[in-house]
Structure formats: structure tokens, C-alpha cells
Amino acid sequence: MCAAARQQIETPRLIGHRVTEDDFEYLAKTDSDWRIQEHVYGKVQTREESRLHLERCLRRWDQSGYGLWIFTTKHAETIGHADLFPSPESPGNLEIGWVVLPELWNNGYATEMAIACLGVAFDDLQASRVVANAQARNTGSRHVMDKCGMTPESEYIYRDGSPSVRYSIDRKTWTARTR
């Protein structure tokens, strides 16, 4: 895989910037919001856990040249974030994840961020395949995966005991969708 991704991503409505130390308060906010964490970790995170989360994100950028982007509107309103990381559930593959602030759900932002990150994964990082995981009952994330061209791959029980699903998309499918 190529060693560097774009540090800024632009979409028709959004700008994503590489996460920095200045983004701690945003991460602490999303990490402590049950409406979000119900679907991510299954529990809210403390400020210390958010600090460790940020440190992992910064370290991944430094070590691998890709990671988490914070997305804002072109008028600097924070929307959410999207992340590319080595998949712990599907070794050898990149995984994509996203968070949108709850008051902005159902505006297409998650799909827009995910498509931008898939472009980075396939175009910049030369990934051959990208996966996404969600709780089986998380119909919102499953809908985003469908809209991005990802297909259901498997159902499994996540380590926290929740029924989960894995979707994936490969380079050939991505290229056919975007060319």
C-alpha cells in the first residue's frame, strides 16, 4: 500500500482535514454521546479514553500516512468524521468507519464522507479491498454501505456480543462505479 493519503479531502459539500490535537474536544463530544456510541463501542467513552483515541489516530497518521479526517461544511460547521484503518476483524484489509453528529443524520453526509474515503483508499493507498462493519440492527450504516456500492459479506457476533455484519467492496467494483 502507498504510504501517504491526502491530508485534506473535498467533496461537493464538505472538507475533511487530517485529525490534529485541536480536534480533541470534538472527539470527546462524539465519544461521550450515547446516540453515537450505541452503534460504535456500545458504551460512552471518558475524556481519558477520548485522549487515547486521539493519540491512536495521530500515531496512525504518523506511522502509516492515513487515518481519520474531521469533516466540516465549506462554512466550517463540523459534520462528523470518517476513518480508514487496518481492519482488526478482517486482517490484510482496510476498514472504513464514520460518525455524523446526530442532529445532522439523514442528510447524506455519511455517504458523502464514506465515498470520499473509499476514493482515498483505492486511489491514494492502492487498496485492493475495503470492509465496513456495523451492528446488524444499524440500518443507517447498512444503508450507507449499500449506497457506496459495498455488498454484504458476512454476519457474525462482534466481540461485545452484538450481532454484526461485514460489507466489502473491491478495487474492480469501485473502479467500475467511479469511471
For 120-167, write each residue's pLDDT tens digit.
999 999 999 999 999 999 999 999 999 999 999 999 988 778 899 999
Q: Are strands 129-135 and 94-100 parallel, antiparallel or unpaired?
A: parallel
CATH C-level class of 8-178: alpha beta
The predicted pLDDT at position 170 comes to: 97
pLDDT confidence bin for 4, thresholds 50/70/90: low
The predicted pLDDT at position 94 comes to: 96
* Rg of the chain, C-alpha, whole Å: 15
Closest CA to 165 of 147, 148, 149, 150: 150
**What does the domain layout of the chain look like in residue ranges?**
8-178
The predicted pLDDT at position 66 comes to: 94
Question: For residue 162, how many other CB atoms are within 10 A of its CB?
Answer: 15
Given a cut of 60, whether residue 57 has pLDDT beyond it is yes
The predicted pLDDT at position 6 comes to: 86
For 104-123, write each residue's pLDDT tens digit.
999 999 999 999 999 999 99
The predicted pLDDT at position 1 comes to: 44
For 16-41, write each residue's pLDDT tens digit.
999 999 999 999 999 999 999 988 88
Closest CA to 125 of 89, 96, 94, 151: 94
The predicted pLDDT at position 2 comes to: 43
